[in-house]
Amino acid sequence: MKLFIYHTPELTPGSEVPECAIAVDVLRATTTIATALNAGAEAVQVFSDLDKLMKVSEEWQPDKRLRAGERGGSTVAGCDLGNSPLDCTPEVVKGKRLFLTTTNGTRALKRVQDASIVLAAALINRAAVVEYVLSQQPETVWIVGSGWEGSYSLEDTVCAGAIAHSLVTQLNCPLNELAGNDEVIAAIALYRQWQDNLLEMFHHASHGQRLLRLNCHEDLKYCSQTDILDVLPIQTEAGVLIKKV
């Protein structure tokens, strides 16, 4: 197995597709996806384009759909929800399809949607993602961070490092055998530095500060937790993720 970490979708090799791709947007798309599926959502369908989301979701009965839209951290007008995982309670999402578009995370999922295996990972479901990757033993794995509008983000890199650290530990192999690029080594180092105080790190992160200005402190607290949900969001068709059973 060779593991590669890319900080944004734009940094991935343009002509290649890995056997397994893991999209990460800790603040907050992939955290929201994992939470919604854990709470009983039928599926989460992601869109990078808001107009397309509106058009496709029109084909669903209103009582079977939820439109979740976020731009710049705020809820999009005309949507039922924004991008807060705390809104995805069983009472709200159970049995419904979540049609989701966000500033960054949905772009990452779109970039890797042609991989044989596509997973959505956050800190909250890190262990479930690692367990599945170990069971499948794919030859190449990409962890693709969402970043912020094309730029690097601390929170996605620390999550990628958390996944990589767990893989190295459980495979019991030398780091240089697993690491396909330098970003893997850097991400593991970042995770080791902050693993016991991830919430503080989120407060330093530019997007964490952006969300704090929007009074989303509880979201940061929730998103900074590790391994609290045993849920694996896996793509069944392009852009559609369900809970792996």
- Amino acid at site 109: L
Helix (H, G, I), strand (E, B) or coil at 4: strand
Torsion sign across C-alpha atoms 134, 137, 123, 34: negative
The CATH number given to whatever domain includes residue 72 is 3.90.1560.10
SS3 (DSSP) at 245:
coil
Question: Phi, psi at residue 98, to the nearest 5°?
Answer: -95, 120
Report the pLDDT value the prediction gives residue 14, as an integer from 0 to 100: 87
Q: pTM for this structure?
A: 0.96
Task: Order across the sheet with 2-6: list the strands.
Answer: 2-6, 140-145, 20-24, 117-121, 233-237, 240-243, 43-46, 97-101, 65-71, 74-75
pLDDT reported for residue 124: 98
Could you give the percent of the chain with pLDDT greater than 70? Answer: 100
For 84, the domain range is 2-243
List pLDDT tens digits, range 80-121. 998 999 999 999 999 999 999 988 878 899 999 999 999 999
Determine the pLDDT at residue 52.
93
Cα radius of gyration (the chain) = 17
Q: Which of 239, 244, 242 is nearest to 107 (CA)?
A: 239
Tell me: the pLDDT tens digits for 18-77?
999 999 999 999 999 999 999 999 999 999 888 999 999 999 999 999 999 998 888 888
Mean pLDDT of 205-230: 96
- Given a contact cutoff of 8 angstroms between Cβ atoms, the answer to whether 46 and 83 are in contact is no
Q: Which pLDDT score, from 0 to 100, does residue 181 have?
A: 98
Q: What total of structural domains would you count in the chain?
A: 1
